[in-house]
Structure 1
Amino acid sequence: MEIVKRPVPPTGLSRRLWRLPILLYRLGLGALLGRRVMLLNHTGRVSGLRRQAVIEVVAHDGRGYLAASGFGVKADWYRNVMAAPEVTIQVGGRVLQVTATPVPAEEGPDIMARYASRHPAAARRLCKLMGYAVDGSQEDYREVGMHIPFVRFEPRQDRR
């Protein structure tokens, strides 16, 4: 695996296209996107305003939903949820109050390798987007997983 270029968040028209799924969620059509895409409602760490981002669900386990920050620790949504981890997500038609917690870096290789085995084409596209040239081997995906910050979104317990 080699790093081709550092990822740069989309701007202009490209950014608008990336944010198009937010419109589907706002129209109540989030279920059309399935369970592999989530709408993240979070608070801006500087502005304090409500923010939204659509991110891919890398995995869903018994503890919650896992997502990768393809643009690293400098991604706005990542920085926002690390500053204010009590957020709301919508996956399909389901809305959940969750707490965002960073996944320990040593778990990243296994998470990425499992994701790549389940979704090989999406894993190749994701790696390319992030600036990694992979040959499709599990070793490459495991190495990529060492460089990506993952976040687990765990449902909050009802506090009655």
Structure 2
Amino acid sequence: MRMPIPMYRAGFGWLLGGRLVMIEHLGRVSHEPKYVVVEIVERTPQRIVVASGLGRRSQWYRNLKANGVAFLSTGHARRVPAHVRFLDAAESAEVLDRYTREHPLAWKHLKGAMDAAAGGDADIPLVEFTRPRP
């Protein structure tokens, strides 16, 4: 999802609603800022959780694994620093179960696209973002 990036960078991400987030991360080799827009699978006031649609081979996922640097833009919030945590299998299953119940049609399309990209039953890693403690 590259098309929304210029909207978020210009401060118009709020036009896309609250189900998407732009993640700014650093390239693991270049150390240059990189951007990706993904769907939020769970949100609370304290955290945002997203799924890596291409699994662990996704570039943004690999970059976060390498350096853990992330800034989030969603709604009217722009470039908010975020702590990165990779959920384990049990935590991921719980979040995806809730997402499936709350958004069955979206899950059907998301899971189908991920399975097609993986060539079978996709491994879907989840990443949690929280505000760093002062």
Query: TM-score, normalised to structure 1's length?
Result: 0.75
Matches of 2:33 and 2:2 in 1, distance apart? 15
Aligned AA (1:73): R
Structure 2 counterparts to residues 125-144 of structure 1, below 5 A: 125-131=109-115
Matches of 2:69 and 2:10 in 1, distance apart? 24
Q: Which residue of 2 aligns with 1:78?
A: 61
1:27 positional shift: 2.5
Matches of 1:100 and 1:122 in 2, distance apart? 25
Matches of 2:74 and 2:101 in 1, distance apart? 22
* Structure (1 or 2) with the larger CA radius of gyration: 1
Matches of 1:60 and 1:36 in 2, distance apart? 9
Q: 5+ residue gaps in structure 2?
A: none
Q: What does the per-residue CA deviation read over 1:92-124, in whole Å, with 9 as the maximum and x for residues that have no partner?
A: 111321011101111122111110111111111
Alignment partner of 1:98 is 2:85: no
1:153 positional shift: 0.4
Q: Which residue of 1 aligns with 2:102?
A: 118
Q: Which residue of 2 aligns with 1:148?
A: 124
Query: TM-score, normalised to structure 2's length?
Result: 0.89
Aligned AA (1:156): P
1:26 positional shift: 2.1
Identity of aligned pairs, percent? 33
Matches of 2:9 and 2:92 in 1, distance apart? 32
Q: 5+ residue gaps in structure 1?
A: 1-17, 133-142
Aligned AA (2:39): E
Q: Which residue of 2 aligns with 1:109?
A: 93
**How many residue pairs are counted as aligned between the two chains?**
129
| Runs of 4+ with deviation above 6 angstroms | none
RMSD of aligned Cα (Å): 1.6
